[in-house]
């Protein structure tokens, strides 16, 4: 990467040099042409002398050298890219991954378009993919488009600094938002209060008294700050409460609204297709490296649906708790789920089965971590 960075710096330098030269020399060439035109108009018989003079002056304004240097820098940067990223990503692909499952991928793409607000594109895709009669997407597509259109309409208003529609939506879903522990409604009223405060402290005072009471249990310290800021309504930006008018609050409320809106539809804030591509992009370099090593050693993956190495991911891309059986050291799966014995210790189902079969008393067996005895039938599945 150091070589790539170095070549990129050279490319930027050559590009800047070319940009500095071109405008001035083009202006000078324009002046040369205008001068030649004027000479021809004054004395048409002297056209040969005017042409020679124009050619001589034009050569002085040539920027061929700078252009050649820039082209060379572009070529070297391209070679540096090829040398740095010489891996072939296709070696880590599995052509059979979606064999017989194309309809699942098509459905994910169609839903992604709807969730991104690209409604016309989703309609065209559903039609061209022959999914109009798909019971799982056809019947729900219209309803989803209606709901997400409403979401994007409200987001558009929030981006324009308008909170009325968002407040109305939050009021209509008051109970569901409270169950989620969401602070969306308060944050919307807070932004509305601050917007009023910038124009009229009396309107802001009345608004605060009308709407903040219901949020006092959870947001009393913040409400106190908001109401105290009324003292500085003429110079809020230069007061101890200047942070109340941060533009980042509007970006934050947009993200909070979108997350809560999708949550009430039992959907994640981001499209599953987007998340899949993002995780795949982050994992690809590691997978390519592992595949390259395995191909060199002529070995293959021994486990289906399992990677040979751990892929580090940020916390916001971890959606499931991973349980490793303390007996077999294997990760739990849908076919081999974690099971909790009456004593409270948890092992995987396969380990539980092996323990019960190896026990002299087939009805009961001893826990591998404490003296308690129990039967396989007494164990219950654990959901993380």
- Please tell me the CATH code under which domain 320-384 is placed: 3.30.40.10
pLDDT of residue 322: 75
pLDDT for residue 301 is more than 80: no
Mean of the per-residue pLDDT values for the chain? Answer: 83
Residue 307: strand, helix, or coil: coil
Instruction: Choose from 90-94, 153-157, 214-218, 369-373 the range with maximum mean pLDDT.
Output: 153-157
Highest mean pLDDT among 20-29, 60-69, 158-167: 158-167
Structure tokens belonging to residue 220: 């009393």
When mean pLDDT is compared across 8-12, 84-88, 113-117, the lowest value belongs to: 84-88
C-alpha separations of 31 from 24, 36, 58, 64 in Å: 11, 9, 10, 19
Contact 128, 109 (CB under 8 A): no
The string of pLDDT tens digits covering residues 47-85 is 666 666 666 555 655 667 777 888 888 888 888 887 777
pLDDT at 170 over 90: yes
Task: Give the DSSP H or E segment for 253.
Answer: helix 248-264
> What long-range pairs does 241-250 form, CB within 8 A, spacing at least 24?
244/194, 245/194, 245/198, 249/187, 249/191, 250/158, 250/159, 250/161, 250/191
pLDDT at 329 over 70: yes
For the beta carbon of residue 244, count every other beta carbon within 10 angstroms.
Answer: 21
Enumerate residues 6+ apart whose C-beta is below 8 A from 105.
98
Nearest-angstrom CA–CA distance, 232 and 226: 11
Q: What angle do CA 72, 78, 80 make, to 5 degrees?
A: 105
Please tell me the distance from the alpha carbon of residue 240 to that of residue 145, in angstroms, as a whole number. 44
pLDDT at 370 over 60: yes
pLDDT of residue 91 exceeding 80: no
Taking alpha carbons only, the member of 256, 271, 272, 275 closest to residue 180 is 256
Residues 6+ apart with CB under 8 A from 243: none
Rounded mean pLDDT, 241-252: 83
Q: What confidence score (pLDDT) does residue 167 get?
A: 95
Domain regions of the chain by residue span: 2-82, 157-264, 281-316, 320-384
By C-alpha distance, which of 104, 149, 162, 151 is closest to 123? 149
Q: Is pLDDT of 345 > 70?
A: yes
pLDDT in tens, 117-134: 999 998 899 888 888 776
Note the pLDDT of residue 157: 94
Name the pLDDT band for 192 (thresholds 50, 70, 90): very high
Q: What is the pLDDT of residue 295?
A: 77
Query: Going by C-beta distance under 8 Å and a sequence separation of 6 or more, which residues neighbour residue 79?
Result: none
Q: Where are the alpha helices (DSSP H) in 85-183?
A: 102-115, 119-128, 135-159, 164-172, 174-179
pLDDT confidence band for 332 (50 / 70 / 90): confident
Q: For 276-297, how does the pLDDT look when each residue is reduced to its tens digit (9 = 90+)?
A: 999 988 888 888 888 888 877 7
Bridge partners for 366 per DSSP: 373
């Amino acid at each position: 990467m150091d070589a790539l960075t170095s070549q990129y710096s050279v490319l930027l330098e050559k590009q800047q040099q070319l940009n500095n030269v071109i405008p001035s020399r083009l202006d000078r060439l324009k002046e040369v042409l205008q001068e030649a035109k004027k000479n021809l108009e004054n004395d048409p018989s002297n056209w040969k002398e005017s042409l020679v003079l124009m050619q001589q002056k034009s050569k002085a304004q040539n920027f061929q050298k700078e252009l050649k240097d820039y082209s060379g820098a572009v070529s070297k940067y391209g070679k540096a890219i090829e040398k740095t990223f010489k891996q072939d990503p296709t070696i880590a692909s599995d052509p059979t991954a979606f064999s017989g499952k194309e309809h699942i991928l098509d459905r994910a793409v169609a839903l992604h378009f709807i969730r991104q607000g690209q409604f016309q594109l989703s309609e065209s895709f559903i039609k061209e993919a022959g999914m109009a009669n798909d019971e799982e997407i056809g019947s729900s597509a219209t309803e989803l488009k209606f709901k997400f259109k409403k979401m994007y309409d409200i987001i558009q208003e929030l981006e324009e600094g308008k909170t009325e529609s968002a407040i109305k939506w939050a009021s209509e879903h008051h109970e569901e938002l409270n169950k989620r522990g969401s602070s969306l409604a308060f944050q919307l009223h807070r932004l509305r209060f601050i917007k009023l405060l910038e124009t009229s402290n009396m309107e802001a005072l009345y608004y605060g008294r009308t709407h903040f009471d219901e949020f006092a249990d959870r947001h009393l310290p913040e409400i106190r700050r908001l109401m105290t800021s009324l003292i500085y309504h003429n110079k809020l930006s230069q007061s101890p409460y200047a942070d109340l008018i941060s533009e980042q609050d509007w970006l934050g409320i947009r993200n909070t609204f979108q997350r809560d809106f999708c949550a009430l539809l039992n959907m994640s804030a981001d499209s599953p297709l987007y998340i899949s591509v993002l995780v795949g992009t982050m994992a690809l370099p590691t997978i390519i490296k592992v595949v390259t090593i395995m191909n060199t050693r002529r070995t293959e993956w021994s486990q289906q649906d399992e990677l040979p190495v751990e892929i580090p991911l940020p916390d916001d891309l971890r959606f499931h708790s991973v349980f490793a059986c303390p007996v077999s050291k294997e990760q739990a799966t849908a076919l081999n789920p974690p099971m909790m014995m009456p004593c409270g210790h948890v092992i995987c189902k396969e380990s539980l089965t092996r323990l019960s079969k190896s026990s002299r008393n087939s009805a009961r067996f001893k826990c591998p971590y404490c003296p308690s005895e129990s039967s396989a039938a007494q164990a219950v599945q654990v959901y993380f």
